[in-house]
């Protein structure tokens, strides 16, 4: 993922290039390439963060729905249990 950059200092340049000029051009090209790669990685990271945030939101929403459903089921069970338990002993519940 990471690229190793080796800095080499040259004293002689090629025709039309001053001392160390080719090395500078090479380094500038490598720096530009690394900056592009960093931008791509940063973009992917942001997308992953967005995906994770969306998944967390779905889970939170799902948890709320599940809690509500479970609460309703529990309430219905308790209500049914209460009615069944006291139906035979209480004249008020027996009339319902």
CA distance 84 to 82: 6
Q: What's the pLDDT score for residue 11?
A: 45
- Cβ burial of 53 (10 Å; 0-12, 13-18, 19+) is exposed
CA distance 77 to 72: 8
Count of CB atoms situated within 10 Å of the CB of 54: 10
pTM for this model (two decimals): 0.47
The answer to whether the CB of 1 falls within 8 A of the CB of 41 is: yes
The answer to whether the CB of 67 falls within 8 A of the CB of 73 is: no
Q: What's the pLDDT score for residue 43?
A: 94
Q: What is the mean pLDDT of each run of 10 residues along the chain (96 residues)?
A: 52 54 91 96 93 88 80 81 66 53
Domain coordinates of the chain in residue numbers? 21-94
């Amino acid at each position: 993922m990471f690229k190793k950059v080796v800095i080499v200092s040259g004293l002689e340049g090629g025709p039309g290039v001053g001392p160390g000029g080719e090395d500078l051009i090479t380094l500038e090209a490598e720096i530009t390439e690394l900056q592009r790669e960093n931008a791509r990685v940063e973009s992917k990271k942001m997308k992953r963060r967005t995906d994770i945030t969306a998944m967390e939101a779905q889970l939170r929403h799902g948890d709320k729905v599940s809690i509500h459903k479970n609460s309703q089921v529990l309430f219905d069970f308790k209500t049914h249990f209460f009615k069944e338990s006291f139906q035979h002993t209480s004249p008020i519940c027996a009339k319902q």
